[in-house]
Amino acid sequence: MAMLSFDNPTFQKFAFYSGVVIGKTLLMGALTVRARLTHKIFSNPEDASTFGGKEMIGDESVERIRRCHQNDIENVFPFVLVGSFYLVTEPDPWWASLLFRTFAVSRCLHTVCYMAPVPQPSRFLCCLTGWGVTAVMTVLVLRAAKP
């Protein structure tokens, strides 16, 4: 069975949960655009003149969504990259599935906490959980790849 194949259940789970968090990241980008168009608040003068709004940085109706999207970019893509290397180490399927699922759930909960907003430390703990998953996989990859 090929390691990076949908015949491999561990790869299948990784692909699924990666798809969930990448899809969520793409959705946050679209929600940022929607907020900018709805409130007619843009970060570039050419956008403001094209869409009949004003150029403004820091409007909370846009910035909260944008910051949540930025946080996804900073966390999801390292997870996907490191997770790809982690798969090559042939991890225990149960542990790998737990890590992938934990990351996806933590990122989805992070978004709920960010957008609601839910009082801290909820958002911090969700972010820390996802970061911890990526950190664990990074250490395991480094151990397996030691020269």
Task: Give the model's confidence band at 1: pLDDT under 50 very low, under 70 low, under 90 confident, else very high.
Answer: low
Q: Which of 96, 90, 98, 39 is nearest to 64 (CA)?
A: 39
- Give a yes or no: residue 133 inside a domain: yes
42-64 pLDDT tens trace: 888 888 888 888 777 778 889 99
61-118 pLDDT tens trace: 899 999 999 999 999 999 999 999 999 999 999 999 999 999 999 999 999 999 998 9
pTM assigned to the model: 0.91
**Does residue 29 surpass a pLDDT of 80?**
yes
Supply the CATH number for residue 68's domain.
1.20.120.550
- Give a yes or no: residue 3 inside a domain: no
- Give a yes or no: residue 16 inside a domain: yes
Question: What burial letters (b/e) apply to 3-36, b meaning 16+ CB within 10 Å?
Answer: eeeeebebbebbbebbebbeebbeebeebbeebb
